[in-house]
Amino acid sequence: MSIRISFEVFPPKDAAGLAQLTTALARLQRLEPWFVSVTYGAGGSSRERSFEAIHAAVTSGATVAAHLTCVGQPVDEIDRVLDEYTKLGVERVVALRGDPPDGVGAPYRAHPDGYQRTADLVAAAKRRGVLDVAVSAYPERHPHSPSDDHDLDVLAEKVDAGADRAITQMFFDNDLYFRLVERARHRGIAIPVAPGIFPIHSFPAVARFAERCGASIPHAVADRFAGLDGDAAATHEVAADVATEQIRELAANGVDHVHMYTLNRSELALAVCDRLGIRPLQAAS
Ligand code: FAD
């Protein structure tokens, strides 16, 4: 199967988490991913941890896409982060709005001196010479969005500002993704839209997270995890099968790049890639 894989990791909270991330990055890098994206947390210590994670990813040899959000920061602070990325040799950015500090349920207010729209951040990144700017897209609509059309309007603004690609929120029903892409193409949005694949490492945890993100889990998927709570080995097998089947169907319908959420663990990503025929490079002897 000819499909490009990228992985997403997040900044760990402590030294043990950083060690786990470093091990995962080393294993994932042997699959030669297209890039590894590192999520961003606005605010002092979160931002420092984002930089630590970016550093770990760069050190692993990965091509890094560094996320950056608008929320809670004035323009000059965000521009300084963009400059730091450039200094670290990071040429890819995932430009996002971010969530209010009180959580996704709270109303969003742009910083008075900040980028007011995600499209403004996209334009700023492109002006500063960022090679590849990715943005978000939502197969099931952003939880705050008044309509599917509004979602597409926001995506179109980001594309007009220079976005090179979109990466979707997690979804578990490929028809939702196909529908999003069809509607985007109809709207004249031509950039690649990479499906965001979230292997279900723990059904209860992923179900809670998916609900917060507005992503639904079809009964057909939920049923496959029934009775497996607490059985890590069985969950691993089913999760790898489910994600592999999802990616195979996407690939059969012309998708040539998927972005996999890893939660800083390599085991499931490796198992899915193995089932897809994407195998680690052999270590030099
Ligand atoms: P936008 O693209 O600006 O908007 C998304 C949608 O929200 C729009 O389509 C629109 O319908 C609706 N919307 C936006 N503004 C308004 C408004 N004022 N009124 C009504 N509706 C509105 N968060 C982080 O903090 N750090 C990360 O690293 C990070 N990485 C992510 C990566 C991906 C691939 C995705 C899908 C999400 C990520 N997020 C991250 C979460 C993201 O910040 C939230 O989903 C946030 O609520 C929206 O950001 P956005 O860039 O998608 O917003």
User: 182 catalytic, yes or no?
Assistant: no
Cα(196)–Cα(259) distance, integer angstroms? 5
Could you read off the pLDDT of 62-119 as tens digits, one per residue? 999 999 999 999 999 999 999 999 999 999 999 999 998 877 778 899 999 999 999 9
Question: What per-residue confidence (pLDDT) applies to 232?
Answer: 96
Cα(268)–Cα(282) distance, integer angstroms? 19
Cα(96)–Cα(27) distance, integer angstroms? 28
Could you read off the pLDDT of 117-164 as tens digits, one per residue? 999 999 999 999 999 999 999 999 999 899 999 999 999 999 999 999
Name the band, by pLDDT with cuts 50, 70 and 90, for residue 283: low
Backbone dihedral angles phi then psi of residue 242, each to the nearest 5 degrees: -60, -45
The pairing of beta strand 92-96 with beta strand 132-137: parallel
Name the band, by pLDDT with cuts 50, 70 and 90, for residue 184: very high
The protein residue with its alpha carbon nearest to ligand 1, atom 24, reads 98
> How buried is residue 72: exposed, middle or buried, by Cβ count under 10 Å (0-12/13-18/19+)?
middle
Atom index in ligand 1 nearest the CA of residue 135 equals 51
* Cβ of residue 275 lying under 6 Å from some atom of ligand 1: no
Would you say 3 and 247 are in contact if contact means Cβ atoms under 8 Å apart?
yes
Atom index in ligand 1 nearest the CA of residue 151 equals 9
Closest CA to 202 of 176, 232, 159: 232
Residue 12: is its pLDDT beyond 50? yes
Would you say 68 and 58 are in contact if contact means Cβ atoms under 8 Å apart?
no
Two tokens, residue 177: 């993704």
* Mean pLDDT value of segment 226-253: 97
* Mean pLDDT value of segment 240-255: 98
Cα(215)–Cα(179) distance, integer angstroms? 15
pTM over 0.95? The answer is yes
Backbone dihedral angles phi then psi of residue 211, each to the nearest 5 degrees: -60, -45
* Cβ of residue 11 lying under 6 Å from some atom of ligand 1: no
The share of the chain scoring above pLDDT 90, in percent, equals 90
Would you say 142 and 214 are in contact if contact means Cβ atoms under 8 Å apart?
yes
The protein residue with its alpha carbon nearest to ligand 1, atom 47, reads 99
Q: Which helix (H) or strand (E) holds 190?
A: none
Question: What per-residue confidence (pLDDT) applies to 70?
Answer: 97
Question: What per-residue confidence (pLDDT) applies to 285?
Answer: 46
Could you read off the pLDDT of 227-238 as tens digits, one per residue? 999 999 999 999
Q: Which helix (H) or strand (E) holds 260?
A: strand 257-261
183 Cβ neighbours under 8 A, 6+ residues apart: 148, 152
Question: What per-residue confidence (pLDDT) applies to 78?
Answer: 96
The protein residue with its alpha carbon nearest to ligand 1, atom 36, reads 169
Name the band, by pLDDT with cuts 50, 70 and 90, for residue 50: very high
* Cβ of residue 37 lying under 6 Å from some atom of ligand 1: no
Question: What per-residue confidence (pLDDT) applies to 149?
Answer: 94
Weakest mean pLDDT among 20-29, 30-39, 141-150: 141-150
Would you say 37 and 7 are in contact if contact means Cβ atoms under 8 Å apart?
yes
